Structures are given as C-alpha cells and as structure tokens.
C-alpha cells in the first residue's frame, strides 16, 4: 500500500498548506475552514447552500430499484445523534469549508445500519500504488484507528482536480478574504482609538531616547484613547503639544460600502446576489433562483447522489421542488390564487392533495368546468351533484 497523502485533511493542515503555497505570503492571509465563518459573507454563503440542500429530501429516480432502508437513513434517521437536516447540513458545510466531507458507513452483513458523520481530521487517505484504489484510516473519538475500504466511507468533494481529494471554494477567495479582513481591522482600529485618529505629540525642551518615547506614547494612548475616552478632555502640561492628523473619511466610506468582495464570494459559491440582500439589475429574483437551482444546487446534488449510488447502491436524486415552487402545495396555492383553479395541476396531483386515490387518465390538466361536466378531481358535476348521484 502506498500513502496517497501522509497527512490528515483537518482545517489547520489545509490552511498551512494553502498558506505555504501562496505566491505572496506577506500580502495575502489564508483563512480556511471554520475560521472563515467569522466573515459574515462566508457564513451567509455556507448557511444558504447547506440549508437549501439539507432542507430538501432524497427521492428515487424514475424506474430505480428501491432501497427503503438506505432512504430512511437519509430522510429520517441517519444515526442516533443527528437529524436528517443536521446530518446533510454538516456534510455540505464541511465540504464547502474544507473541500472534503466524510461519512462512515456501518453495516451488519449486507444491511446498512448507520451513517456516521466524521470530521476530516479523523481521516487519512491511502492510495494503492498498483491499482490506485483508495482506503481510509479512521480514528474514532476514543483514539482507536481502523483501516476502512472505500465502500465503507462516503467521501464528498465539492471541487476536485484529481478525483480523489476535494478543494474548497475558499481557495479562490484568499485575496478577497484578505481584503475584507484588513478592511475590517482598519475600521475596528479606528473605532477602538475613540477620539484619536493618529497624531503628533511634541515635547518641548527634551532629549529622549527611543525607549522613553515609546513609553510616553503608550502612557498617552492609555489615558486618552478608546471608546470610553471619546469626547473627553485631554490634559497636557506646558512641555507638551498634541496635534491630530486629518482623517480621510472617504477611505472609511469606501471600506463600509465595498461590495466587490461580497460579489466575488457569491460568484465563487454560485449564489444569487439577491440572497445576500443586494438588489439585482436587469434580473428578476425568479430567474436568478431558477439558475441557482439548475446549476449550483444540481451540481452539488449530483455529486452527493453519485457517491450514494456507488457506495450504497441506491439510485436517488435530491428533490428541490419546494425551492423552485413546483411542489404540489405551491402549485395548488398558485392555482387557487392566480388562475381561479385552472391550468396548474393535473387531476391526480389535485386528488392527492385532497387525500383521494389516483384515477385512470389522471394526467389531464385541471380546468374550469362547463355546465353539466363531471369534475375528475372530486367526482362531482359542475352543478354540485356527486358522481354517485
């Protein structure tokens, strides 16, 4: 067996590797993993994507062989400590932040019994130097390590260059995150200083060395800086003279109003700007949301369901109909509110909403009835008489 990566995929190790491989380590600071959630736009992006995926359900593809045991694990109870929502949310969030998310599959014989989410720091990947097959060294919370075959570990990768390890979208945002961090630090430093925007303290008739100057500077700032000293009185003796620098407030306005980094983050994650509270130009919310579902969410869901099919032999897809407004409840509401009950649902969809069994030829579009016509949805005529009558 040959070691594929003789390291774990934890947040810290990934951050160190990205930092050391940076072209200009002094200019760009790498913020990876959970540390990046301290930036509000990253937090929002991860919350939106993970929340949208986790709030949807797995359904069988048309004509697929059913495996209710696995589907119940995915949609009802993956393990003893996680709900389906928190399980899929954690997978998606970890995958976005570090590029990799892992789930250990626990079986009894051929039956899948439990899906356990584990952190990347608990996994080391190995590659066979002959056939390229992968295996995983998994360290549990008690510190015990065991080697697992590839079929026993679900390995989700948001973006991959080699098909074996993933890369986080944050990799493309190092410059933007550095700009945000430095800009926020500048604002924080300004408000922390209180009344002081920087200045010159002159001491007349003195001959001080650098050590003494630093001490005087520190003492002066301790007394006069900070929010609690804002608008307070500065006390100077006859040997001191203090003048403030003129502050260019345009720089602060530029930092506060800067939306470039937000747009770059939204672009890297594939999320419409409207979801970040920004107005769109020449684009409707519906069209942006449709594009988001059809491109971004479909790509992530395809990656997830492909891994489930290969490792668990269950052919599913993630149902995003609620997000697109194509679920029966939404279509029924539109039918009633916008079209007075015509042209949205097919007959069997309407019957299902009312808890009625499907009927033959139930794919006909629900429409308004003419006098004397029978309503295929409820079994009554247009004048109110029942089918039995």
Residue closest to 300 by CA, chosen among 96, 78, 86, 74: 96
Lowest mean per-residue pLDDT among 72-86, 117-131, 159-173, 319-333: 319-333
pLDDT of residue 317: 92
Residue closest to 36 by CA, chosen among 159, 156, 186, 181: 181
Read off the DSSP letter of residue 328: H
Alpha-carbon Rg for the chain in angstroms:
30
Choose between 279 and 2: higher pLDDT.
Answer: 279
pLDDT of residue 295: 84
Q: pTM for this structure?
A: 0.66
373 contacts 382 by C-beta, under 8 angstroms: yes
Q: Helices (H), strands (E): how many in the chain?
A: 13, 12
Q: Band of the pLDDT at 34, cuts 50, 70, 90?
A: confident
Residue closest to 174 by CA, chosen among 10, 5, 21: 21
Q: Find the DSSP H helices in the chain.
A: 11-20, 40-54, 68-75, 84-98, 174-192, 210-224, 249-257, 260-269, 285-291, 298-312, 321-324, 328-338, 347-353
Contacts of 94 (CB under 8 A, 6+ apart): 100, 101, 119, 120
Contacts of 89 (CB under 8 A, 6+ apart): 50, 51, 53, 54
Contacts of 357 (CB under 8 A, 6+ apart): 351
Express each pLDDT in 207-264 by its tens digit: 777 777 788 777 777 766 655 555 566 666 666 766 665 655 665 565 555 677 788 8
Q: Are strands 374-375 and 380-381 parallel, antiparallel or unpaired?
A: antiparallel
Q: Band of the pLDDT at 381, cuts 50, 70, 90?
A: very low
What is the mean predicted confidence (pLDDT) over 203-207? 69
CA distances from 358 to 213, 342, 352, 355, 378 (A): 88, 19, 7, 9, 11
268 contacts 172 by C-beta, under 8 angstroms: yes
d(CA 320, CA 318): 6
The rounded mean pLDDT for the chain is 75
pLDDT of residue 224: 63
What is the mean predicted confidence (pLDDT) over 282-286? 61
Phi, psi for 325 (deg, rounded to 5): 80, 20
Q: Tell me which range, 29-43, 165-179, 349-363, is most confidently predicted by mean pLDDT.
A: 165-179
d(CA 32, CA 37): 9
Read off the DSSP letter of residue 94: H
Contacts of 163 (CB under 8 A, 6+ apart): 157
Read off the DSSP letter of residue 253: H
pLDDT of residue 124: 93
What CA dihedral angle connects 73, 77, 80 and 82, to 10 degrees?
110
Other CB atoms closer than 10 Å to residue 96's CB: what's the count? 23
Question: Within 13 Å, how many C-alpha atoms sit on residue 304's CB side?
Answer: 27
pLDDT of residue 315: 93
- Per-domain boundaries in the chain: 1-171+258-320, 175-257, 327-381
114 contacts 73 by C-beta, under 8 angstroms: yes
Express each pLDDT in 311-353 by its tens digit: 999 999 998 877 765 555 555 665 556 555 555 667 887 777 7
């Amino acid at each position: 067996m040959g070691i594929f990566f003789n390291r774990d995929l934890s947040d810290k190790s990934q951050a160190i590797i990205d930092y050391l491989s940076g072209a200009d380590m002094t200019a760009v600071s790498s913020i990876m993993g959970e540390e990046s959630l301290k930036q509000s736009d990253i937090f929002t992006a991860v919350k939106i994507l993970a929340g949208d995926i986790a709030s949807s359900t797995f359904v069988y593809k048309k004509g697929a062989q059913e495996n209710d045991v696995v589907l119940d694990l995915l949609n009802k109870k993956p393990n003893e400590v996680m709900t389906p929502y928190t399980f899929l949310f954690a997978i998606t969030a970890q995958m976005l932040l570090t590029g990799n998310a892992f789930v250990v599959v626990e079986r009894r014989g051929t039956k899948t019994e439990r899906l356990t989410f584990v952190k990347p720091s608990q996994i080391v990947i190995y590659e066979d130097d002959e056939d390229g097959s992968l295996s995983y060294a998994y360290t549990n919370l008690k510190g015990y390590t065991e080697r697992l075959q590839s079929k026993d570990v679900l390995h989700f990768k948001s973006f991959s260059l080699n098909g074996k390890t993933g890369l986080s979208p944050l990799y493309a945002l190092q410059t933007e995150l550095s700009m945000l961090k430095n800009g926020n630090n500048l604002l924080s430093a300004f408000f922390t200083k209180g009344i002081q925007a920087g200045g010159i303290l002159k001491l007349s008739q003195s001959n001080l060395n650098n050590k003494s100057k630093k001490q005087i500077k520190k003492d002066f700032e301790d007394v006069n800086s900070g929010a609690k000293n804002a608008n307070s009185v500065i006390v100077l003796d006859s040997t001191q003279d203090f003048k403030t620098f003129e502050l260019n407030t345009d720089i602060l306005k530029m930092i506060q109003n800067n939306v470039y980094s937000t747009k770059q983050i939204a672009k890297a994650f594939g999320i419409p700007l409207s979801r970040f509270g920004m107005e769109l130009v020449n684009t409707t919310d519906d069209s942006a949301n449709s594009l988001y579902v059809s491109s971004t969410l479909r790509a992530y869901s395809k990656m997830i369901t492909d891994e489930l099919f290969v490792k668990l032999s269950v052919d599913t897809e993630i149902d995003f109909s609620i997000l697109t407004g194509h679920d029966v409840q939404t279509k029924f509401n539109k039918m009633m509110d916008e079209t007075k009950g015509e042209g949205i649902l097919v007959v069997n969809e309407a019957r299902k909403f009312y808890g009625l069994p499907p009927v033959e030829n139930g794919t006909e579009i629900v429409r308004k009835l003419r006098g004397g016509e029978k309503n295929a949805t409820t079994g009554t005529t247009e004048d109110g008489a029942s089918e039995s009558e």
